[in-house]
Amino acid sequence: MSRVWQTWYTSFTPMEYEIVIGLEVHVQLLTKSKMFCTCSADYASTPPNTHVCPVCLGMPGVLPVINEKAVECTTMTALALNCTIPEHTKFDRKNYFYPDLMKGYQISQYDAPIGRRGWLTIDSDGSKKRINITRVHLEEDTAKLLHRGDSSLIDVNRSGVPLMEVVSEPEMSSPEEARDYLVRLRNILRYLGVSTANMEEGSFRCDANISIRPVASKEFLPKVEVKNLNSFKSVYQALKHEAERQRKVLGEGGELVQETRGWIEETGTTVTQRTKEYAEDYRYFPEPDLPPLVVDPAWIEEIRAKLPELPDARRDRFMAQYGLPLYDSNILTGSKGMADYFEDCARLVGPGKAKMASNWLLGDFSRLLNATNTEIESAKISPEHLADMLALVDDGTISGPTAKAVLEEMFQTGKAAGAIIGQKKLGQISDAGEIKEVVKQVVSDNAEAVADYTSGKQQALTFLVGQVMKATRGRANPSVVREIIMQELGGK
């Protein structure tokens, strides 16, 4: 390639960029009371401003008291995320002015978080990748603003609810990886029981930092923080959109600025909200109303000992204990509800039938759950009922296709399989006398096929079996049918 040609070629090759994503997740903790006062933290379905007191209203002259349970939940999460827990931590004041902040500052943790330097393994494209976690810290939630026309209303019930923040390193390189990280993090929180971790309800909130940079470059370009993400889908779509927008800005010779942008679901775009703050904008300083938090290492060990089996360990156990493939084990343990349900059912169906239970759960049952947007915890089919149905398939009372229809009705009505089968007479017909009657009818109706069969054409037998199956609406046992036809026609 000539030098001139090469220069021309290079200048017209579009620059290749890679995506850099870091996630900040805010998690409301499942404690009885708020972070620094005795108000109930269970405010979800209560009238506005009914769970309040001078502390969470930010009145002067009151003193906060640290909620021990919130520290325990945060420590537990930090341990599950492989973090180091220093003995000495503290709370700091984060100063910023926004009408949802009752005191004019938020009590948070700045340079001494409860957990630091942990990690979480993701597996978005079949290969494992470790995403480092910078920190896990504890703070308080803000009040909620409701904008109505020209005015805004404030509900202080949420103010002071314990809020844990999990911050990842900027190590995810696609919206898919970001989604996988969030799904896995939510799963761990639910296994631990520290939060309902529900994005739609606001107990699991995500802000995503995203920037792009030329492939193989080590420098970071200005990042954009995307807010207003209230579902996994919106996180994914917003990141996809934002990466594309940034590429376009650079491609057109523009410059990127560090800023906060809000995701607008309706238009599928992000819009600028404000230029991003830096840590110094918050003028952090140690919270003078609270003593430093000293955590006894023995207490940390106590919490570590109480950690439940986590998703990865449970997946490995499913493979060893039930002989399930990796694929099944991964999906089953991907939600605590699904994993618990499977284990209840596997126990009932007995050894050797776990794979059958898994097939039904991941197949038809999951299809019904997805189609109706139902969580398995609120499904009408109990593990006992599913196990009973599997036993009926296993002993030949109902055929596979019938079982699918039965499952659907169980899903809609919550009735037991046996009741549905009895009511609708769906049981498989294995009674030779009953089948013989149908065979006789089919034989007299299909003289041509019978002639074909007696002259040695084996396909004619398949056709005749099919006719009997049709006449019995699939309820006859096909092997019994085949045998009876052969007897009737004098075959072997």
Q: Which residues bind Zn ion (CB under 5 A)?
A: 37, 39, 53, 55-56
Cβ proximity to Zn ion, 124 vs 159, nearer residue: 159
Task: Say if strands 259-264 and 151-155 run parallel, antiparallel, or are unpaired.
Answer: unpaired
Q: Pick from 128, 133, 39, 141: which is nearest to 94 by CA?
A: 141
Q: Measured from the CB of residue 424, what is the shortest distance to Zn ion in angstroms?
A: 57
Q: Which residues contact 206 (CB under 8 A, 6 or more apart)?
A: 23, 24, 25, 26, 182, 199, 229, 235
Q: What is the DSSP letter of 276?
A: P
In whole angstroms, how close is the CB of 39 to Zn ion at the nearest point?
Answer: 3
Q: How far is CA 458 from the centre of its chain?
A: 52
Query: What is the Cα–Cα distance from 114 to 90, expressed in whole angstroms?
Result: 8
Indicate the residue among 37 and 417 with the shorter CB distance to Zn ion.
37
Between residues 118 and 162, which has the closer beta carbon with respect to Zn ion? 162
Closer Cβ to Zn ion, 43 or 236, answer by number: 43
Between 59 and 326, CB nearer to Zn ion: 59
| Alpha carbon distance 402, 380 (integer Å) | 19
Nearest to 72 by CA among 300, 298, 294, 309: 300
CB atoms inside a 10 Å sphere around CB 320: 9
The residue type of 142 is T
Q: Shortest gap between Cβ of 38 and Zn ion (angstroms)? A: 7
Q: How far is the CB of 57 from Zn ion (least distance, A)?
A: 7
Look at residues 192, 136, 195, 189 and name the one whose alpha carbon lies nearest to residue 166.
136
Q: Which tokens sit at 257?
A: 């600025």
Least Å distance between CB 195 and Zn ion? 20
Taking the least distance from each CB to Zn ion, the nearer of 53 and 356 is 53
Residue 491 in contact with residue 439, Cβ under 8 Å? no
CB of 362 to Zn ion, least distance (A): 45
Judged by CB, which is closer to Zn ion: 140, or 343? 140
- For Zn ion, give the closer residue by CB, 53 or 348: 53
Contacts of 454 (CB under 8 A, 6+ apart): 489, 490, 491
Dist. CA 459–CA 456, nearest whole Å: 9
Least distance in Å: CB of 49 to Zn ion? 11
Specify the pairing of strand 293-294 against strand 88-89.
Answer: antiparallel
Closest to Zn ion by CB, 7 or 38: 38
Rounded CA separation 341/383 (Å): 6
Q: Residue 205 Cβ, how far from Zn ion at the closest point, in Å?
A: 21
Minimum distance, C-beta of residue 53 to Zn ion, in the bound complex (Å):
3
Nearer Cβ to Zn ion (106/260): 106
Rounded to the nearest whole angstrom, what is the least distance from the CB of residue 92 to Zn ion in the complex?
Answer: 20
Show Cβ contacts of residue 194 under 8 Å, excluding neighbours closer than 6 positions: 27, 29, 30, 73, 76, 77, 164
